[in-house]
């Protein structure tokens, strides 16, 4: 029997240390500037591309790590550097995963290289799913895709929101309704190539945190894309829709739960991002508590401060363990019988919010200023309990999984 271990292997340690160095030397010195500018940090993305971090090959290597720890280790280190810049670096991966999961080999080979560009001419891509009235409630999606058989084209109309890189991306991956009667089973994904008429950027959001990451609406007005831009192809879509119609009356719940497994497998990566931000704030607070003197001694000598730091570290380590467990389960095909993916995301995101708030408190007035990074980290941490499913949605998924109730 294989020995149980939580030790990273030599390759994983090498990648972790490499990413940590990039986060420390390139991302952190630039974090405050790009947070203030609220702009995409193109120079940092280009630096990441030059060293091989901003590339499909790098993320593929981490994704196929047989232990499942490649992605969470990478996400923790990058988001330890800075959440806003890190999201600008990894945001294209959302669109790339959408193509990898649903596209044909030809579509994968054609579009993913265009999403990243190269070190001399970096590009970004956007995954467009959420809508003004369809966030957690994906069945309420209104963006429509209608097939023009005479021209072998799909015509897309609607508005997407909260799209990372929306409008500034070269390639957009858009989720749209092709059969409104099937709810979320009537959705399909489409590639919108660079420069396609009818696609425009709507409102760019001025955000509370992760301000170096571009977030905007994407407006689609009679956007025509070739039939070849339907991910997976028309034949596969028709077969899937036919099966969904047959199962609409009976057996549909099994299909819904299988779909939920996909979301469960992706949520630990967000948990790892939250762990990285929490760890960064904790380390700043720890160093400050060791050096800040009040009443003739370092403030860490006070139990009120020391116990806070003890709790912060304990919760961060617990969150990481939940993330690693869920990531390992997803990679090794273990069933999420208790919604372990949602557990990891829920706990890690809540830890990030509480730990960064405690870090601000430990730094006192200094923590409330932009002269110290914990103020920014606290703002950034707020997103983790919102995107990729709010904390309330995670609790709903966990509770219904435990009770055996249907997850809708």
The DSSP H or E segment spanning 359 is helix 340-363
Nearest to 272 by CA among 309, 310, 325: 325
Catalytic option among 47, 77, 131, 388: 388
Q: What angle, 0 to 180 degrees and rounded to 10, lies between the N-to-C axes of helices 303-332 and 70-81?
A: 140
DSSP, collapsed to helix, strand or coil, labels residue 199 as strand
Q: What angle, 0 to 180 degrees and rounded to 10, lies between the N-to-C axes of helices 391-403 and 340-363?
A: 140
DSSP, collapsed to helix, strand or coil, labels residue 23 as helix
Nearest to 145 by CA among 137, 134, 136, 153: 153
235 catalytic per annotation: no
Do the beta carbons of residue 111 and residue 102 sit within 8 Å?
no
Question: The tokens 């994704």 sit on which residue?
Answer: 63
Do the beta carbons of residue 213 and residue 40 sit within 8 Å?
yes
The span from the first CA to the last CA of the chain, in angstroms, equals 40
Nearest to 241 by CA among 161, 145, 174, 157: 145
Give the separation between CA 92 and CA 163, rounded to whole angstroms. Answer: 11
Give the separation between CA 122 and CA 118, rounded to whole angstroms. Answer: 5
Instruction: List Cβ neighbours of 393 (8 Å cut-off, separation of 6 or more).
Output: 136
Which residues are known to be catalytic?
388
């Amino acid at each position: 029997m294989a020995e149980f271990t939580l030790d990273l292997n030599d390759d994983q340690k090498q990648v972790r240390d490499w990413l940590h160095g990039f986060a420390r030397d390139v991302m952190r010195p630039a974090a405050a500037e790009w947070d203030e500018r609220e702009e995409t940090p193109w120079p940092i993305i280009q630096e990441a591309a030059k060293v091989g971090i901003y590339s499909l090959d790098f993320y593929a290597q981490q994704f196929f790590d047989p232990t499942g720890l490649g992605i969470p280790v990478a996400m923790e280190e990058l988001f330890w550097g800075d959440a806003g810049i890190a999201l600008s670096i990894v945001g294209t991966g959302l669109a790339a995963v959408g193509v990898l999961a649903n596209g044909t080999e030809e579509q994968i080979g054609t579009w993913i290289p265009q999403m990243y560009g190269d070190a001399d001419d970096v590009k970004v891509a956007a995954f467009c799913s959420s809508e003004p009235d369809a966030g957690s409630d994906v069945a309420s999606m209104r963006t429509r895709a209608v097939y023009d058989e005479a021209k072998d084209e799909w015509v897309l109309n609607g508005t997407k929101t909260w799209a990372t890189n929306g409008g500034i991306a070269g390639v957009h991956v858009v989720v749209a309704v092709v059969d409104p009667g099937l709810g979320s089973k009537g959705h399909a994904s489409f590639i919108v190539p660079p420069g396609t008429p009818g696609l425009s950027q709507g409102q760019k959001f001025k955000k509370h945190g992760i301000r170096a990451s571009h977030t905007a609406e994407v407006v689609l007005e009679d956007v025509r894309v070739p039939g070849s831009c339907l991910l997976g192809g028309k034949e596969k879509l028709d077969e899937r829709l036919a099966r969904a119609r047959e199962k609409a009356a009976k057996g549909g719940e099994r299909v819904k739960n299988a779909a939920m497994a996909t979301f469960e497998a992706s949520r630990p990566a967000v948990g790892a991002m939250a762990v990285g931000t929490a760890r960064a704030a904790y380390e700043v607070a720890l160093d400050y508590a060791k050096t800040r003197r009040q009443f003739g001694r370092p403030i860490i000598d006070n139990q009120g401060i020391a116990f806070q730091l003890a709790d912060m570290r304990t919760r961060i380590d617990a969150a990481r363990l939940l993330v690693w467990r869920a990531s390992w389960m997803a990679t090794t095909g273990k069933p999420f019988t208790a919604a372990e993916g949602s557990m990891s995301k829920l706990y890690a995101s809540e830890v990030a919010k509480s730990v960064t708030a405690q870090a601000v408190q430990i730094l006192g007035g200094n923590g409330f200023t932009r002269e110290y990074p914990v103020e920014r980290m606290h703002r950034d941490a707020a997103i983790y309990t919102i995107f990729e499913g709010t904390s309330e949605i995670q609790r709903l998924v966990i509770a219904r999984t435990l009770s055996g109730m249907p997850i809708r």
